[in-house]
């Protein structure tokens, strides 16, 4: 099982959308929110995504397609 730890930065128009929920429903992955900050105008989440590498890759491609910025992170995760 592969694991991706990433910072997701959401565009303003997606702040109120259930993006992470939809991600888990659409792909065979497990999502785990490690840290987040959401306001009325901006939002970011440190998300741990586990699953087969091809499913993780598809999930990242989907996120980028809806204009969510995906940046891998290391060490900024609560253990």
Q: Which pLDDT score, from 0 to 100, does residue 74 have?
A: 82
79 assigned to some structural domain: no
Q: Which pLDDT score, from 0 to 100, does residue 35 have?
A: 95
24 assigned to some structural domain: yes
User: Please, what is the average pLDDT of the chain?
Assistant: 93
Q: Which pLDDT score, from 0 to 100, does residue 52 have?
A: 97
In whole angstroms, what separates CA 78 from the centre of its chain? 16
CATH number at residue 63: 3.30.70.260
Residues 6 or more apart whose Cβ sits within 8 Å of residue 23 = 29, 31, 49, 59, 62, 63
Q: What percent of the chain has pLDDT over 90?
A: 86
Q: pTM of the full predicted structure? A: 0.88
54-79 residue pLDDT tens? 999 999 999 999 999 999 998 655 55
Domain of residue 31: give its range. Answer: 2-72
Instruction: Give the chain's domain count.
Output: 1
CB 73 within 8 A of CB 7: yes
């Amino acid at each position: 099982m592969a694991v991706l730890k990433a910072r997701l930065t959401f565009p303003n128009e997606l702040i109120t959308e259930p993006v992470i929920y939809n991600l888990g429903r659409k792909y065979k992955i497990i999502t785990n929110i490690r840290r987040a900050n959401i306001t009325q105008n901006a939002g970011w989440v440190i998300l741990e995504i586990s699953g087969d590498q091809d499913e993780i890759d598809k999930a990242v491609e989907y996120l980028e397609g809806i204009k969510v910025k995906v940046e891998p992170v290391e060490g900024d995760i609560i253990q």
